[in-house]
Structure 1
Amino acid sequence: MIREYLGFDLSEYRDGNMAKGVVYGSLGACVDALPWFMVALGLPYVLGGGNGFASAVALAVSVVGFVLGVFLKTQALNANFDATYAVVSNARLRLANHLARLPLGRVLSQRDGAWAELVTAQFTMYQDIVTNIWGCVVAGTAFPLLLWLLLLWLNWACALVMLAAMPLAMLSVPLAYRLLDRASEKVASSRQMAAVNALEIVTGARDLRFFDPRGQRVAAARRAFELLRDESLKSEVAPAPALLIFSLVVFLGASLAIGVASLRFIGGGAGAVAYFVEILVVLRLAMGINDIGIYLAAMRFVGSILNRIRRVFDEPVMPQAVRGQIPRDGSVDMQNVSFGYGDAEVIHNVSFRIESGSMAALVGPSGSGKSTLASLVARLWDVEQGAVRIGGVDVRDIDEPTLHKTVSMVLQDVFLFPMSVADNIRLGKPEAPMDKVIEAAEAACIHERVMQLPEGYDTVLETGDVVLSGGERQRVAIARAILQDAPVLILDEATSSLDLENEAAVQRALSNLCRGKTVIVIAHRLWTVHDADKIFVLEKGKIVEHGSHADLLSAEGLYAGLWGLQQGI
């Protein structure tokens, strides 16, 4: 129960440190309670004129107990932190692995920064709270229990009054949970928006400088941060009304218990020293019970974070082939494929065939489904109806490593990782020797530029760095695809935003890359694909025309109209 409540079930990590922390924490609580037992047992004797030896023994026991308590608490702290950090770290890695197995389209559909905020900030909050709460829950529960047993021995009536106060105080806990749930959801939403805005400000700094002179996006980011500040402050005090009720009930119970002890003292049933000890134990017990309310609120806050993490774990991963089949060639077939994002269907009963080693182009107006079709070929999403086959094998029956070796993509928006140029090129084939990396770079027309970098192929590229121009970054991505040497290549026309010099270099690199492969081009400028073996024209998620450039022009349909617009006819 506690494992699920604190999220330990999300981790596959199992270690004796967690049990060790419980043992040390419980023993530490016993040692913390020891002075109270010494006071209850020894104070009446000492004040009653007991000998000095007994006082010395009591003092010695207290000192030993203090030293032992420090040792046990230190051991408990170390064990708890080791265990909880390992548990949370493993859960974070499992979440990252789960994200990697989700349909890639689902991952990309989330705004930039949202996943990062979940894996970093949310997990950090969870980690910071649970590492402290786990040890406190153990010791914080054991210590009041021991004090209650002591009070039961001293004055059973007082103990029963304090016991009766507990369930009454717990009635306020559901209210605290409701207040916390409402506040924590708002904090999570505002934190995600703040993370997204921060990332937009950093990654879009150049565009903002030129196109947002009034600072509208910066102002929006500032509002997001101010909202996060306000919601965070509200969440800190959100459970306060319920916790106040909890405290009032606990200390009201303590007042009644002191009243019971007072009646016993007035009636002559207890001496002054015993009465004084009972009051001390009641007050310390009330403080311990009150701390339990705080722990419960903190655990609920952890629970609200865990709910968001569990929602991601609950998302279905991309099913993997148990026995992966090998495509016989690079041909691509779509048969009666339909697909939609949510309830909106964007691909409607599409069928086509692309022969192995041929070049096909997907053209059409914006939003016609070109990129979605290409994503289905690469299995970034799974089709809802129909089938996509490569080399006669349904892509759902191809295991992930084989699919990665079979299909490669070169997109307009190139992402280079913060590692060396060589490792960026090796990304699709990590075992490739250096001579093959250089061959790929030469074929991609980027070798000479790499050799001009400070450390050549060992130069580390930072994400977003301006060491390489846009065209040069695309040529690194092309070298990556050349080295991977997948038989099926998907190109999102990579030259539409380049200057003439870079465009010519990228076109030469693409010619080297496409040789002997099945190529699917998402074309924005029709003149770049007029030599394609087959052109598929899409409109509103359907193929409305297909054929060669000449055939489509003579048909005087949508393609001819688009061609005329681009040629200024």
Structure 2
Amino acid sequence: MIRRLSELLDREERGRLRRALLGTAVSAALQGAAFALLVPLLRVLLDGGRPERAWPWVAALAAVAVAHAVVTYPSVVAARNTGYALSRSLHDRLGSRLVRLPLGWFSGGRVGTVGRLVTYDVMNVMSVPAHLLEPLVRATVTPVCMVLVMLVADPRLGLAALACAPVIVLVHRVTGRLVQRAEHAADAAAAEAGARVVEFAREQPVLRAYGRTARGVREVDDALVAQRRAGRRMIRVALPGLAGFALTVQAAFVLLLLLGTHLAVGGTVDAPALLALLVLAARSAEPLSSAAELGAALRMAGNSVDRLQKVFDTPPLPEPDTPERIRDSSVRLERVSFGYGDEPVLRDFSLTVPPGTTTALVGPSGSGKTTVTRLVARFFDVWEGTVRVGGADVRRLAQQELMSRLTLVFQDVHLFDGTLEENIRLGRPGAGEAEVREAARRARVDEIAARLPDGLRTRVGEGGALLSGGERQRVSIARALLKDAPIVLLDEATASLDTENEAAVLEALEALTADRTVLVIAHRLETVRGADRIVFLRGGRVAESGSHDELLARKGPYAAFWSERERARGWRMRAVPQSEDERGRSCTTSS
């Protein structure tokens, strides 16, 4: 465990950990020496002789106690500082690693897993040097010192104590392994429960719209029940093991007591020496009893190290040693194949978006439209083929260089729990106040700010909960305007907005996409008529491409898709009367 822990520390922290371990070991040995001095001291005091002969032993005991205090203080401070430094280092490393992992890693129950990593697991690991090593070393070194003293004072009792050691070690190891396995299951259940609770809180609008209460959410209930069962299972496994270990330690002490009594009755050991040795045996039992709990905690910390190391070992998207430079704002995919599992989503896919043009991706759900934009932004690396931005393979670009040239605006907008201004400034943190306000004006966020008590300095709540969907989208576009990147990847953001917000967002998008290279995923076909080129995807391939009029004239897949959408739109128009006469006729008919 110490070796694995050292791998998580830098050179300075490893040196501090070694000093803490050495100091703790010396401190524990001094504590053992202090108790060893009780043997001659008690002999002098209890043999009926002159008490003044005890003063040298008292002086030696006092000297050892002072030395113990002098050694203990710096070792404890070093151990605590190592723990705090380890916590800071782990959080830094986790943050650096998470931002470099492929987006595909953040799926399923990863939200709960990451939450457990940065809280429970980091705290577990930092507690090893800060809180566990010192008592664990004492629980090991002090009893060893006392057994050595017993071997010197009375070899028979010392050998008896030594014979009990393998049994105690065996029970300790078995207990630790049982706790380790049970804790793995409990942690997995806790991570799953955490992910389900976060999902439950995040999806409250949908759940309430359909009348689903907490009692009725099966996924949350099942996850919490599984967590409770896993916790109980760990307790059922741990408690018998801990109790069995304590019983083994006490049984060993009773055996020593019986042996000592037998030797005293037989006259082969004097009573003062027996009393002193039994005091040592009793004092050894105390730290040994706590060793089981400390060992279980150490095993759980080892599990935490494994989980953290698994994240650190997950390969990030590789960065080139000699990165290329972006020459223009073109986007090109060349014979790309890629998927999220075993089945490919894109198959031999090629696409070219010339600089300063707008290309719209159209197609049925699952055809690979969103995947194309994710590959351009290098959220994943392709299986086969090449993705080029500005003429350079994205795998040969520094991530910072690539992202500085891209602006991403998607339907699922996330705002941080800060002010409107802070969320806009995320696009370019170094921007001046005038630039932030200009971006807000162009995205019509200033209209939102005018209705709020603190204007742009109004907090938007977690995830932007205090704003509507259209308002959140306007903030994200203001953020993109402030960034002012030459390439825009746009997952059309108006598909589910009301008329007022749709008009505002479309106006903001017009400002965002002017004179830029735009790759837009189109959900509402009416909005792509003006695109320079429309690419229709089907089954992960380009079925056809061209302008709107050209594709309609061909009467191919795009024309059929367009006709189907037009029929659906006409049905909606008939289903929702627009004029008063239509509403009146509808009411008359229904009556």
TM alignment of 1:305-316, pairs within 5 A = 305-316=304-315
Q: Give the equivalent residue in structure 2 for 1:203.
A: 202
Q: Give the equivalent residue in structure 2 for 1:389.
A: 388
What is the deviation of 1:186?
A: 1.6
TM alignment of 1:262-411, pairs within 5 A = 262-411=261-410
User: CA offsets per residue over residues 444-464 of structure 1, 9 Å max, x none?
Assistant: 121232244333333333323
Contact 2:40 2:57 in 1 (8 A): no
Q: Give the equivalent residue in structure 2 for 1:53.
A: 52
Which segment drifts farther, 160-169 or 396-405?
A: 160-169
What is the deviation of 1:66?
A: 6.0
User: CA offsets per residue over residues 21-64 of structure 1, 9 Å max, x none?
Assistant: 33443343244334422320111111223434344665666577
What is the deviation of 1:392?
A: 1.0
Q: Give the equivalent residue in structure 2 for 1:232.
A: 231
User: CA offsets per residue over residues 474-495 of structure 1, 9 Å max, x none?
Assistant: 1111111111111111111101
* Alignment of 1:531 onto 2:502: no
Which segment drifts farther, 280-289 or 559-568?
A: 280-289
What is the deviation of 1:520?
A: 0.7
* Alignment of 1:422 onto 2:428: no
| 5+ long unaligned stretches in structure 2 | 571-591
Q: Give the equivalent residue in structure 2 for 1:21.
A: 20
What is the deviation of 1:242?
A: 4.4
Contact 2:44 2:51 in 1 (8 A): no
Distance 1:401-1:29 versus aligned 2 partners, 3 A rule = same
Q: Give the equivalent residue in structure 1 for 2:38.
A: 39
Q: Give the equivalent residue in structure 1 for 2:584.
A: none
Distance 1:13-1:468 versus aligned 2 partners, 3 A rule = farther
Contact 1:436 1:483 in 2 (8 A): yes
Contact 1:538 1:544 in 2 (8 A): yes
Q: Give the equivalent residue in structure 2 for 1:184.
A: 183
User: CA offsets per residue over residues 216-247 of structure 1, 9 Å max, x none?
Assistant: 55454244333323322321342444455545
Contact 1:170 1:246 in 2 (8 A): no
In the alignment of these two chains, the number of paired residues is 567
Q: Give the equivalent residue in structure 1 for 2:456.
A: 457
What is the deviation of 1:281?
A: 2.1
What is the deviation of 1:79?
A: 2.9
Q: Give the equivalent residue in structure 2 for 1:481.
A: 480
**1:162 & 1:520 partners in 2: Cα distance?**
77
Contact 2:348 2:541 in 1 (8 A): yes
Distance 1:156-1:33 versus aligned 2 partners, 3 A rule = same
* Alignment of 1:497 onto 2:496: yes
What is the deviation of 1:501?
A: 0.5
**1:63 & 1:184 partners in 2: Cα distance?**
44
Q: Give the equivalent residue in structure 1 for 2:587.
A: none
SS in structure 2 at match of 1:14 = helix
TM alignment of 1:92-171, pairs within 5 A = 92-108=91-107, 110-128=109-127, 131-171=130-170
Distance 1:535-1:472 versus aligned 2 partners, 3 A rule = same
SS in structure 1 at match of 2:106 = helix
Distance 1:174-1:545 versus aligned 2 partners, 3 A rule = farther
SS in structure 1 at match of 2:195 = helix
**1:34 & 1:175 partners in 2: Cα distance?**
31
Contact 2:176 2:292 in 1 (8 A): no
Q: CA RMSD in A?
A: 2.6
Contact 2:177 2:299 in 1 (8 A): no
Q: Give the equivalent residue in structure 2 for 1:3.
A: 3
SS in structure 2 at match of 1:423 = helix
Q: Give the equivalent residue in structure 1 for 2:586.
A: none
What is the deviation of 1:129?
A: 5.8
Amino acid across the alignment from 1:510: L
SS in structure 2 at match of 1:545 = strand
Contact 2:534 2:547 in 1 (8 A): yes
What is the deviation of 1:117?
A: 2.7
SS in structure 2 at match of 1:10 = coil
**1:403 & 1:528 partners in 2: Cα distance?**
28
Distance 1:275-1:177 versus aligned 2 partners, 3 A rule = closer
Q: Give the equivalent residue in structure 1 for 2:193.
A: 194
What is the deviation of 1:101?
A: 0.7
TM-score for the superposition, normalised by structure 1: 0.92
What is the deviation of 1:151?
A: 1.2
Which segment drifts farther, 259-268 or 94-103?
A: 259-268
**2:525 & 2:147 partners in 1: Cα distance?**
83
**1:58 & 1:230 partners in 2: Cα distance?**
56
Contact 2:363 2:536 in 1 (8 A): yes
Which segment drifts farther, 55-64 or 324-333?
A: 55-64
What is the deviation of 1:547?
A: 1.4
Q: Give the equivalent residue in structure 1 for 2:434.
A: 435
Which segment drifts farther, 207-216 or 361-370?
A: 207-216
Contact 1:13 1:86 in 2 (8 A): no
**1:307 & 1:17 partners in 2: Cα distance?**
23
**2:383 & 2:476 partners in 1: Cα distance?**
31
**2:426 & 2:358 partners in 1: Cα distance?**
25
Distance 1:177-1:31 versus aligned 2 partners, 3 A rule = closer
Amino acid across the alignment from 1:133: L
What is the deviation of 1:9?
A: 1.8
User: CA offsets per residue over residues 493-525 of structure 1, 9 Å max, x none?
Assistant: 101111100000000000000011110111111
SS in structure 2 at match of 1:428 = coil
Contact 2:330 2:353 in 1 (8 A): yes
Contact 2:253 2:282 in 1 (8 A): yes
